[in-house]
């Protein structure tokens, strides 16, 4: 549950930031403003803005790792199978 909530928050933040850059920037690079790195959809920004977008996507992998580790603990340590039934002793 924590992993899914974290992923949704990080994904939403990434989308908000992405669409902010899309709506805020004109099409094409603007070297005089320092907007030379492509951000997507023909928009350009600074290196820091591109790094912000990339880091949010990388941080979104952490919730998947949390969910994977949690399910691995359920399967291997608690003895549950894929359908959620516990192992009978």
> What is the per-residue pLDDT across 72-82, written as a single tens digit (0 to 9) for each?
888 888 777 76
Please name every residue paired with 40 in a beta bridge, in sequence order, or none if there are none.
Answer: 43
pLDDT tens digits in sequence order for the chain, 89 residues long = 777 788 889 889 989 988 998 898 889 999 999 999 998 888 999 999 999 888 888 888 888 888 888 888 888 887 777 655 555 55
The half-sphere exposure of 86 on its side-chain side, counting CA atoms within 13 A, is: 4
Q: Is the distance from CB of 35 to CB of 44 less than 8 angstroms?
A: yes
70 vs 55: CA distance, rounded Å? 24
| Three-state DSSP string of 1-66 | CHHHHHHHHHHHHHHHHHHHHHHHCCECCEHHHCECEEEECCEEECHHHHHHHHHHHHHCHHHHHH
């Amino acid at each position: 549950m924590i992993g899914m909530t974290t992923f949704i928050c990080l994904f939403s933040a990434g989308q908000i930031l992405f669409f902010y850059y899309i709506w805020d920037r004109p099409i094409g690079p603007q070297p005089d403003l320092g907007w030379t790195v492509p951000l997507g959809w023909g928009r350009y920004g600074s290196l820091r803005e591109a790094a912000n977008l990339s880091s949010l996507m990388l941080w979104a992998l952490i919730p998947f790792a949390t969910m994977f580790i949690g399910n691995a603990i359920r399967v291997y340590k608690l003895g549950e199978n894929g359908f959620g039934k516990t192992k009978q002793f």
